[in-house]
Chain A
Amino acid sequence: MEVGTGKVHRVAGPVVQATGLKSHMYDLVLVGEEGLMSEVIGIAGDKHVIQVYEDTAGVKPGEPVKETGAPLVAQLGPGILTSIYDGIQRPLPKLVEASGNFISRGLFVDGIDHKKKWEFEPVAKKGDKLEPGQTIGTVQEQLLIKHKIMMPPDKRGTVKEIKSGNFTVEETICVLEDGTELPMIQYWPVRRARPSRSKEAPSIPLRTGQRVIDGFFSLAKGGTAAIPGGFGTGKTVMQQTLSKWSDVDIVVYVGCGERGNEMADLLHEFPELVDPRTDRPLMERSIVYANTSNMPVAAREASIYTGITTGEYYRDMGYDVMMTADSTSRWAEAMRELSSRLEEMPGEEGYPAYLGARLADFYERSGRVTTLEGTEGSVSIVGAVSPPGGDFTEPVTQNTLRITKVFWALDSKLTQRRHFPSINWLDSYSLYDLTLEPWFVENVSPDWNKNKRRAMSILQENAELEEIVMLVGSDALPEDQQLTLEVARMIINFWLAQSAFHPVDTFCPYKKQFDLLAAILQFRDHAFEALARGVPTDVILGTPSKDALAKVRLLEDYEPELEKVRAQMESEFKTMS
């Protein structure tokens, strides 16, 4: 396409108006003498409205605006893993090389290295008919992660020539009969979902190693979860913990309008931490987008799309991908800011009327799919929401809850009590509950669901009793209810509470989750039986084995200790009178 040049007409913050352009909506343009990366977001009369991904200080009317003839694309190919990008897929370490410790403007850096040679191993043969998405060959991108080089989703053809050996991502590795030369790299417009053959029901749990999640409100592979909470309630810690221990192949972590120090923390930790499933550094399976709160808002708006696009790309290779977005509220605010600069009609609380639609489009890009090639892959999305004043009735939370299937409600009352994760066990839910239960019964224990229900109903009863206690004190309650309060306290403190910073307890395997809860329920049954025998409550509550149970979860090799405690419990209750 022919590309032309226009002129800046007006500059107000990140929004620029220009005249003399022929670009289409969402095309990239380069604004000003410095060529600032920008995107067309509106066309009105003879003027194009443009959002600029970089700071616009100093840009003047009359400066040139260069067209590129293409929308914002992600560069897809080997070399994405372990990268740290800004919101428009510029590798941040490369920006440090180019401009030092502070990010300067007008820099263009490729999303993946165009010079590095990768060893390409062909899979397709001469004469093969290749359909969209079909594997042409592979590259060993990381020690344990094979990168499939696939036909672009909009191309098909017969192989005329296929190569083998070391190539850069731009060199041709395959030629089709029609003369098309295919390199390893693909460019994909970030605002468009990558196609798949069909969506499948999410019926496999995504193991997070977090008891309150796996045990009570589990997420499915390909599913969506929202984690709303006021400031300091644990959204970031939870997303980082999930990124560390979840049983997915690839993690896309999008830091969208949040803190620089948090990103530094993650960037220092991930290369050092080891994925327990593979014994390899976590960084090898990770892609990080860090568009912090002080970086340009337009790039923040784009970061969610670049993030999900890279996620979909690995899904297409047949991997299970998890994307976490921290925080979708900052993304929504970026939309709001840009919308108000466009002088659009504001909807609720100043957000644009299309807020709900944009959120839905984003979460819809999740899913467990049969890929174009016929393998299975998934993208799960966990989105943090930061409601003003911690009030869940605000538009971003409400619009998100309409779409996502899992709701982990963070509760600042629990935070204040330093109960972590501060996920409220009464308000939260998972709509995958019923679909996933058979999996747990088959793979962990036939009693999984029964125990979960029992624990939940004890907590429900506890909540009702606590209201009474607030009025009359716990001593006024009948003895059986006092026991229930204590059992609930055990479930809360010994099981639901789980420190992300404890070297062992940060991750809890399914079996351990089950065993710990079973032991607490065993205590409950003994306690009620003893009460029925006439044993006074304070004797029951004074059981030493009860306190011993508190610390089993902190042990890596917990089984011998748990056996011991359970045996102790049996004998204590037997002799109790």
Chain B
Amino acid sequence: MTKEYKTINEIKGPLLFVEKTEPVGYNELVEIRTETGEMKRGQVLDTSNEIVVVQVFEGTGGLGKESSVKFTGDVIKMPLSPDIIGRVLSGSGLPRDGGPPIVPDVSKDIAGAAINPAAREKPRAFIQTGISTIDGTNTLVRGQKLPIFSGAGLPHNDVALQIARQAKALGEAESFAVVFCAMGITNEEAQHFMADFERTGALERAVVFLNLADDPAVERLLTPQLGLTTAEYLAFDLDMHVLVIYTDMTNYCEAMRQMGAAREEVPGRRGYPGYMYTTLAIQYERAGIITGKNGSITQFPILTMPGDDITHPIPDLSGYITEGQLIVSRELHRKGIYPPIDIRPSLSRLMNSGIGAGHTREDHRAVSDQLYAYYAEGCDLRGLVAIVGKEALSERDRLVLEFADAFEQKFVNQGRDEDRSIFDTLDIGWNLLQALPETMLTRIDDHLIKKYHPRYRKKE
């Protein structure tokens, strides 16, 4: 059925209302031609015998009652072939690098069906990022989704790039393929990413989707779906380990809010649609490993928290879906510490399955817990010191306070190109703990202290 209709009854924001059509399927791909011959694409959001509602990805500018609408009878699909690797595409999947269109081996529905939970493999392969605050205390594993929660003006992009450059599975030479999805970021930020990809040769194993700040907002709603469909193809058809970086989820959610308002939906919290949790989950849940497949999808969504507020619906709902979060802190950034990751509110929930004997080292969990405990306590003490002065502290508290400072300088702080092995990271941790009396190491079993504490190790 490829009939063209000129029965647009209403245009409102990004929406078209078309009447007197043949029966049209829900979520169908729609092609729209303006009177001047320009082509746009859209998707059916609501269909009935009386009226069909279409959201237009490239914006409704230039459309009028005389524009013609064609319902393709098919859902939106992403053309895929191995040649897609190395390509730069637009936020709606068209070539942006001047190259030819993708000649597909397969075309896949971008909505992506849910992975059957019974077909999932438990993620447990440790990924070494070379960053101590991640590897040591918020360990990432293959198949995980771990977002970076940041704020405007903070170096989250540098952290993401450093991860993309350095990430590797222990003992494996093969690096990750990268799918990079930009949603509403500035041209300058995009340049920054592209330059780094080119400098490090990463582009040769990357697929880039770019929807920039001046591209249509509605198009952004497609970008992660296209990127993740590509990632699934690379991971589960071509057996690759894929790292998906998308930035900025906040822009994506804003586009969703805009669509919701255009459809006059009952808004949920702070004007965002009530289904935002589900929509985000459908993207984030496309990370993982499937039993019997060699590839995997690991996700690194980046989002800037409006007003640095972690309770804002965008970080909040994300945090409820992802397997932890890395928090980029303005305070640490101001102190000149890079990467300014605050480990206290950060968390990797899959850490346990990827660390310990056989993965990293048997003392990993204990060292991490102990570092956490005293860093958190030390930070609390800072508040007290501001009021009563250092002198009022007990001897024990003074040690804890000093520990927290040293921790930031030696463990958190590292170079932008410094690629620390997990063993270096753990040893830095031990060296810091050495400043505390052994009786204070309550979270570490005695046999581990005997084995790894620098005091005993030197004796060997």
A62 and B23 contact, Cβ closer than 8 Å, known pairs A263-B117, A473-B384, A473-B388: yes
| Residues in B whose Cβ lies below 8 Å from that of A104 | 113
Q: Does B30 sit within 8 A of A, measured CB to CB?
A: no
Q: Does B311 sit within 8 A of A, measured CB to CB?
A: yes
CB-based contact A267/B285 at 8 Å: no
Question: For residues 1 through 32 of chain A, which have their beta carbon under 8 Å from a beta carbon of chain B?
Answer: 9-13, 17
| Residues in B whose Cβ lies below 8 Å from that of A100 | 116, 119
Kindly state the interface size class of chain B when it binds its partner: 35 or more
Q: Does A84 sit within 8 A of B, measured CB to CB?
A: yes
Q: Does B432 sit within 8 A of A, measured CB to CB?
A: no
* Other-chain residue from A61, A95, A265, A473 in contact with B118 (beta carbon distance below 8 A): A95
| Residues in B whose Cβ lies below 8 Å from that of A295 | 114
Cβ of A189 to closest chain B Cβ, rounded Å: 26
Cβ of A420 to closest chain B Cβ, rounded Å: 10
Cβ of A306 to closest chain B Cβ, rounded Å: 15
Q: Once the chains are docked, how many angstroms separate the CA of A259 from the CA of B117?
A: 9
Nearest neighbor of A499 in chain B, beta-carbon distance = B369
* Other-chain residue from B26, B47, B120, B274 in contact with A350 (beta carbon distance below 8 A): B274
Question: For residues 185 through 236 of chain A, which have their beta carbon under 8 Å from a beta carbon of chain B?
Answer: 230-232
* Other-chain residue from B111, B269, B319 in contact with A55 (beta carbon distance below 8 A): B111
Q: Once the chains are docked, how many angstroms separate the CA of A470 from the CA of B383?
A: 8
Q: Once the chains are docked, how many angstroms separate the CA of A292 from the CA of B277?
A: 12
| Residues in A whose Cβ lies below 8 Å from that of B383 | 470
Question: For residues 362 through 420 of chain A, which have their beta carbon under 8 Å from a beta carbon of chain B?
Answer: 386, 388-391, 416-418
Q: Does A337 sit within 8 A of B, measured CB to CB?
A: yes
CB-based contact A259/B114 at 8 Å: no
| Residues in A whose Cβ lies below 8 Å from that of B151 | none
Q: Does A297 sit within 8 A of B, measured CB to CB?
A: yes
Nearest neighbor of B317 in chain A, beta-carbon distance = A388
CB-based contact B23/A231 at 8 Å: no
CB-based contact B376/A416 at 8 Å: yes
Q: Does A264 sit within 8 A of B, measured CB to CB?
A: yes
Contact string against A for B residues 253-294, beta-carbon threshold 8 Å, 1 for contact and 0 otherwise: 000000000000111110000110110011001111011010
A57 and B114 contact, Cβ closer than 8 Å, known pairs A10-B48, A471-B387: no
Interface of A is mostly: mixed
Cβ of A548 to closest chain B Cβ, rounded Å: 9
* Other-chain residue from B46, B112, B281, B345 in contact with A293 (beta carbon distance below 8 A): B281
Q: Does B123 sit within 8 A of A, measured CB to CB?
A: yes
- Please choose the segment from B84-92, B197-205, B346-354 that sits at the chain A interface, where 4 or more of its residues have CB less than 8 A away: B346-354
CB-based contact A547/B321 at 8 Å: no
A260 and B274 contact, Cβ closer than 8 Å, known pairs A55-B111, A475-B392: no
| Residues in A whose Cβ lies below 8 Å from that of B376 | 416-418
Cβ of B63 to closest chain A Cβ, rounded Å: 22
Kindly state the interface size class of chain A when it binds its partner: 35 or more
CB-based contact A547/B274 at 8 Å: no
| Residues in A whose Cβ lies below 8 Å from that of B274 | 333, 336-337, 340, 350
Contact string against A for B residues 413-442, beta-carbon threshold 8 Å, 1 for contact and 0 otherwise: 000000000000000000000000001001
Q: Does A278 sit within 8 A of B, measured CB to CB?
A: no
Q: Once the chains are docked, how many angstroms separate the CA of A78 from the CA of B16?
A: 53
Nearest neighbor of B123 in chain A, beta-carbon distance = A261
Contact string against B for A residues 83-109, beta-carbon threshold 8 Å, 1 for contact and 0 otherwise: 010000000110110001111100000
| Residues in B whose Cβ lies below 8 Å from that of A530 | none
CB-based contact A416/B345 at 8 Å: yes
CB-based contact B392/A350 at 8 Å: no
Cβ of B51 to closest chain A Cβ, rounded Å: 9
Q: Does A268 sit within 8 A of B, measured CB to CB?
A: yes
CB-based contact A389/B316 at 8 Å: yes
Q: Does A451 sit within 8 A of B, measured CB to CB?
A: no
- Interface pairs (23), CB distance under 8 Å: A11-B46, A12-B46, A12-B47, A58-B28, A60-B24, A84-B118, A96-B118, A100-B119, A101-B119, A231-B320, A260-B117, A261-B144, A292-B285, A333-B278, A336-B268, A336-B274, A337-B274, A391-B311, A472-B388, A475-B392, A475-B393, A544-B439, A547-B439
Q: A292-B281, A294-B115, A337-B275 are in contact. List 5 more A-B contacts (CB 8 A).
A: A58-B26, A100-B116, A294-B285, A471-B387, A551-B446
The 3 tightest CB contacts between A and B, nearest first, are A389-B311, A473-B392, A10-B48
Which residues of B are at the interface with A, using a C-beta cutoff of 8 A?
23-28, 45-49, 75, 109, 111-123, 143-144, 236, 265-269, 274-275, 277-278, 281-282, 285-288, 290-291, 293, 311-313, 316-317, 319-321, 323-325, 344-345, 347, 349-350, 352-353, 365, 369, 372-373, 376-377, 383-384, 387-388, 392-394, 397, 439, 442, 445-446
Which residues of A are at the interface with B, using a C-beta cutoff of 8 A?
9-13, 17, 55-63, 84, 92-93, 95-96, 100-104, 230-232, 255, 257, 259-261, 263-265, 267-268, 290, 292-295, 297, 330, 333, 336-337, 340, 346, 349-350, 386, 388-391, 416-418, 469-476, 493, 501, 544, 547, 550-551, 554
